[in-house]
Amino acid sequence: MSETAEIDESLYSRQLYVLGHKAMLCLQNTNVLISGMRGLGVEIAKNVVLAGVRSVTVHDEEEAQWGDLSSQFFLKESDVGKNRAECCEPHLAELNAYVQVASYTGSLNQHYLSAFQVVVLTNSSLDEQLRIGTLCHSKNIRFIVADTKGLCGLLFCDFGEEFVVSDPDGEQPRSALVLNISKDNPGVVSCLDEEAHGFQNGDQVTFSGVFGMTELNNRPPVKIEVLNDYEFSIDDTSGFMAYKEGGMVTEVKMSQTFSFKPLSESIKDPEIVMTDYCKEEQHKTLHVAFQALHRFVQMTKRLPKPRAEDDAQLLIEIAKQITWKCPVNEEVVRQFAFGAMGDLSPVNAFIGGLAAHEVMKACSGKFTPLRQWLYFDALECLPEDASDCRLTEETCSPRGSRYDGQIAVFGSAFQEKLSRQKLFMVGAGAIGCELLKNFAMMGLATEKGGNITVTDMDSIEHSNLNRQFLFRLQDVGKMKSITAAKAVRKMNPSLRITARQDRLGPETSDVYGDQFFSKLDVVFTALDNVEARVYVDGCCVEHQKPLLESGTLGTKGHTQVIVPFLTRSYGKVPDRQENAFPLCTLKNFPYAIEHTLQWARDTFEQLFKTSAENVTRYFQDPGFVKNPLKQGSAEALGVLEEVYDSLVTWKPNNWTDCVSWARNQWERLYNNNIMQLLHNFPEKSVSSSGKPFWSGTKRCPRTLNFDPDNATHMNFIVAAANLFANTYGIKGTRNHQEIAETLKIVIVPEFTPKSGVQIFTTDDEMKKETVDDNRLEEAMKKLDTLQKVGIFKMNPIEFEKDDDTNLHVDFIVAASNLRAENYYIPPADRHKSKLIVGKIIPAIATTTAAVVGLVCLELYKVIQGHKKLSLYRDSFINLATAYYAQFLPSAAPVYKVTGLDRTFTLWDHFAVQGYRDGTEMTVEELLSHVKKNHSLEVTDLFYENAAIYLSKSKNREERLRQRVSEAVCAATKEDIPETLSVLKLIANIEGLDNDDELPPILYYFRKAKPE
Q: Residues with catalytic annotation?
A: 584
Q: At a CB cut-off of 8 Å and minimum separation 6, what does 187 contact? A: 181, 233, 234, 235, 236, 237, 238, 240
How many CA atoms does the CB half-sphere of 704 hold within 13 Å? 23
Query: For residues 601 and 168, what is the distance between their CA atoms, to the nearest angstrom?
Result: 32
| Cβ neighbour number for residue 30 with a 10 Å cutoff | 23
How far CA 531 is from CA of 512, 527, 944, in Å, comes to 17, 10, 19
| Cβ neighbour number for residue 878 with a 10 Å cutoff | 20
- What strands, in cross-sheet order, belong to the sheet with 422-426? 497-500, 451-455, 422-426, 522-525, 547-553, 556-562, 874-878, 883-887
- What does the DSSP 8-state code read for residue 479? B
| Helix/strand/coil for 97 | coil
Contact 633, 770 (CB under 8 A): yes
Q: Which is nearest to 868 in space by CA: 474, 563, 614, 648?
A: 563
Query: For residues 344 and 853, what is the distance between their CA atoms, to the nearest angstrom?
Result: 10
Q: At a CB cut-off of 8 Å and minimum separation 6, what does 358 contact? A: 144, 155, 157, 369, 370
Query: For residues 544 and 518, what is the distance between their CA atoms, to the nearest angstrom?
Result: 9
The residue type found at 219 is R
Contact 64, 80 (CB under 8 A): yes
Burial 182-201 (b: 16+ CB within 10 A, else e): bbeebbbbbbbeeeebebee
Query: For residues 348 and 344, what is the distance between their CA atoms, to the nearest angstrom?
Result: 6
Contact 47, 467 (CB under 8 A): no
Question: 327: cis peptide before it, omega within 30°?
Answer: no
52: left (phi over 0), alpha (psi -120 to 50) or beta: left
Burial of 1008 by CB count in 10 Å (0-12 exposed, 13-18 middle, 19+ buried)? exposed
Contact 149, 352 (CB under 8 A): no
Query: For residues 154 and 152, what is the distance between their CA atoms, to the nearest angstrom?
Result: 7
What would the DSSP string read from start to end of 810-830? HHHHHHHHHHHHHTTPPP--H
Query: For residues 333 and 327, what is the distance between their CA atoms, to the nearest angstrom?
Result: 11
How far CA 468 is from CA of 41, 46, 425, 437, in Å, comes to 19, 11, 15, 11
User: Can you list the alpha helix ranges (DSSP code H) found in 450-592?
Assistant: 480-491, 514-517, 530-543, 583-587
The residue type found at 735 is N
Contact 149, 62 (CB under 8 A): no
Contact 508, 530 (CB under 8 A): no
Contact 812, 829 (CB under 8 A): no
How far CA 152 is from CA of 286, 409, 957, in Å, comes to 8, 11, 66
